[in-house]
Structure 1
Amino acid sequence: MPPAETLTITLPPDMLRALRESVEAGAHATIDDALGAAVRAWQRQRREDAEHLETIRARIRRSLDDPRPSLSLEEVEAHMEALFAETRRDRRRA
């Protein structure tokens, strides 16, 4: 790991208070540790968001590459109505 670098930041009072409370509660040893945890969580969320977006893009690509003919609006509505009817029947049975 490269050596630590000093960084000066300005935080709104509510964020600084949350960091201090985290340290006082023992969740983190120092504010630096709390900030490090926050950055790691942010990095993890960015990775998860990127993976989710890639999954959506892959589904769109598969849909666009699907050789089957597109459905008409009437066909979609009929299919959706059949699904809704099936759901209603399943709920009545439950």
Structure 2
Amino acid sequence: MRNRQDLPEPDEQFIQRQLESGRYHDRNEAIHAGLRMLEEFEDGLERWVHDEIPGRYAELQRHPSKAVSFEDARARFENKHRDALAKAK
């Protein structure tokens, strides 16, 4: 059974590179930073689904020609989120 602190080797290597860069002081700080980013991403996605979808759906019912694919919509959201994270750094 894997110790709860053990991660797959590629993840451990990534963390080690982050530590060597001096960006983080220890393993836990790097892991917590990743979890915060994931939480921000998930929170943003949840807000988008709950706050924007109902209004957008109503707009699409009125103007179907404005529709975009799910893949395009998700890519736009992910790009927007990445840009926001980059600005926060």
TM-score of Structure 1 vs Structure 2, range by shorter chain? 0.5 to 0.7
Provide the identity percentage: 15
Q: TM-score, normalised by structure 2?
A: 0.57
1:91 match = none
Higher relative contact order (CA 8 A, sep 6+): 2
For residues 49-88 of structure 1, what are the structure 2 equivalents within 5 Å?
49-54=45-50, 55-61=52-58, 63=60
**CA RMSD of superposed structures (Å):** 2.5
Distance 1:46 1:16 in 2: 23
1:34 match = 30
Deviation at 1:52, TM superposition (A): 1.8
User: Larger radius of gyration, structure 1 or 2?
Assistant: 1
Q: Which runs of 4+ in 1 moved over 3 A?
A: 61-64
Structure 2 alignment gaps of length 5 or more: 66-89
More helix by share: 2
Does 1:20 find its partner at 2:9?
A: no
Partner secondary structure for residue 42 of structure 1? helix
Moved more, 51-60 or 12-21: 51-60
Instruction: State the aligned residue count.
Output: 62
Distance 1:61 1:31 in 2: 47
Structure 1 alignment gaps of length 5 or more: 1-6, 77-94
